[in-house]
Copies of this chain bind each other. A is one copy, B any other.
Amino acid sequence: MAAKEYHEIVPGAGLILSWQLKGKKVLLVGGGPVAAGRLVNVKDADAHLTVICPSSGLCGEMKHRIYTENVVDVYHDRLFGGASELDAPEDGRRFDMVLTAIDDAELSRSICHMARARKIPVNVADVPPECDFYFGSLIRRGPLQVMVSTGGKGPKIASQTRRVIERALPENIDNAIERVGKLRAKLREVAPEQKQGPKRMRWMIDVCEKWSLDQLSDMTDDDMEEILKGWKKGTVPTYRQVRGIKWKIIPFIALPTAKQINKSLFGTCPVVGAISPWLSGVLGATAGAAVASAFFVLRSQTRHSLMSVP
């Protein structure tokens, strides 16, 4: 019976990871639109990027990234020159990742073999068996990253799903995460001991539960100092407790916007996620009609009783 407590293992997935490329060397062979997509992915992740592709084969975006934005660290305007490229003789530091996005299936396969012989993770665009990892459909909002993968079953459905998720994400989520990250760093300064790790984590969870996303994204550095005063007492002051005084002093500045009122009234309601706009509209219409009907019926009854008075 206890077995039912645990999620069942469901084979057939990939292991979705956030690979850390800061200070790592990535080789990209190719210059078309697929290569341009890979370039953005790895430069977003702070990789040191080398591109090999004859300039005649560069698409518009690749030219822009290389010549205008200047984000490619090393660019070789020529064809791939063989296995020794992977060992990067110029600085003796082997590449940490190899990506190819070229039409030449034969060359792709041989680059894949060279990389695997050196234990370098490799991805050959559009050839799953020659990939140690796949890319997915990505959302990036500052510190937030969401990745949608269908394990290669449906790239189009993956991007449709990505759009559903994009619409569902709260507008200020990136700000809220940024602020929480900053509070977390400040907490680590106040309570740096390793053994306090679990207590710190519990306290940060309390903050995220007591403060709504809007309140978190609105958290100033001064607010953080106020909140941190609760750390030693083991409490987390609420947004109102922290902001209470300011409301009295400068109410015209602290007056909430219409959006904030809407969020504070409805934003934390548990049915919001469950009820559909259609059901809500129909229920609303019914309720509106009922109230108006009751009003008119009562009014007409009042009139009747008035009229019946001689």
Contact = CB atoms under 8 A, between A and B. Distances in A.
Contact of A177 (B3, B153, B285): B153
B288 A266 contact: no
Interface stretch (A61-69, A83-91, A238-246): A61-69
A145 B149 contact: yes
A213 B154 CA distance: 12
Contact of A11 (B15, B43, B154): B43
Nearest to A10: B44
A105 B194 CA distance: 10
Given A9-B44, A45-B13, A134 B292 contact: no
A74 interface: no
A199 interface: no
A267 to B, nearest CB: 10
A190 interface: no
Given A145-B151, A291-B289, A170 B177 contact: no
A129 B274 CA distance: 40
Contacts of A145: 13-14, 16, 136, 148-151
Interface residues of A, number: 112
A19 B169 contact: no
Given A149-B18, A280-B281, A296-B293, A176 B204 contact: no
Copies per complex of this chain: 2
A153 B184 contact: yes
Interface string A213-256: 10010000000000000000000000000000000000000000
Given A272-B277, A292-B293, A21 B17 contact: no
B266 A278 contact: yes
Interface stretch (A50-58, A106-114, A157-165): A157-165
A14 B20 contact: yes
A273 interface: yes
Given A19-B133, A133-B20, A64 B3 contact: yes
A42 B45 CA distance: 24
Contact of A280 (B167, B278, B287): B278
Nearest to A170: B164
A188 to B, nearest CB: 12
26 contacts: A2-B60, A6-B61, A12-B44, A12-B46, A15-B21, A16-B145, A17-B134, A20-B133, A20-B134, A119-B119, A143-B151, A145-B148, A145-B149, A153-B178, A154-B176, A157-B176, A157-B208, A161-B169, A164-B169, A164-B170, A165-B169, A276-B277, A280-B284, A285-B287, A288-B288, A296-B296
Smallest CB-CB A-B distances: 3 pairs = A284-B284, A288-B288, A14-B18
Given A11-B46, A156-B209, 11 more contacts: A15-B20, A15-B42, A16-B19, A16-B147, A17-B19, A150-B177, A157-B177, A161-B173, A272-B276, A283-B284, A287-B288
